[in-house]
Structure 1
């Protein structure tokens, strides 16, 4: 049963990471894209939330930094 919860938690985080990458890529091509700006802020709030901390022990600031570096590379 615990595995099911872990799988769900991992899937939630993975989807947020995919959505964050997409928003960052969109912003790298069009920095004024309001939808992508909103999405980036919304996902950063999730990464820094208590809920994220319940789902994983990943450091949110490290994750954000690595994803930004990955997209700008």
Structure 2
């Protein structure tokens, strides 16, 4: 794996962690504006052209899987 690929993977994994953390906090504090903004920003990232440049992973599918994970 090249340095570029490792960095791209790290960026995506951090986005997943940020999304999960925001959702966890929002379960306890649904009015938390900053966490809601963070969650929305990460969701926009998953749907963005930038995400597609970083990886061949389908960002919309990844988001759907994360949402399913949260629902269970």
State the Cα distance separating 1:30 from its structure 2 match: 1.8
Unaligned runs of at least 5 residues, structure 2: none
**Structure-1 separation of matches of 2:27 and 2:61:** 20
Unaligned runs of at least 5 residues, structure 1: none
Partner of 2:35: 36
Following TM superposition, the consecutive aligned residue runs of length 4 or more in structure 1 with deviations greater than 6 angstroms are: none
**Structure-2 separation of matches of 1:70 and 1:20:** 12
TM-score for the superposition, normalised by structure 2: 0.89
Partner of 2:21: 22
TM-score for the superposition, normalised by structure 1: 0.88
Q: Which has the higher contact order (CA 8 A, sep 6+)?
A: 1
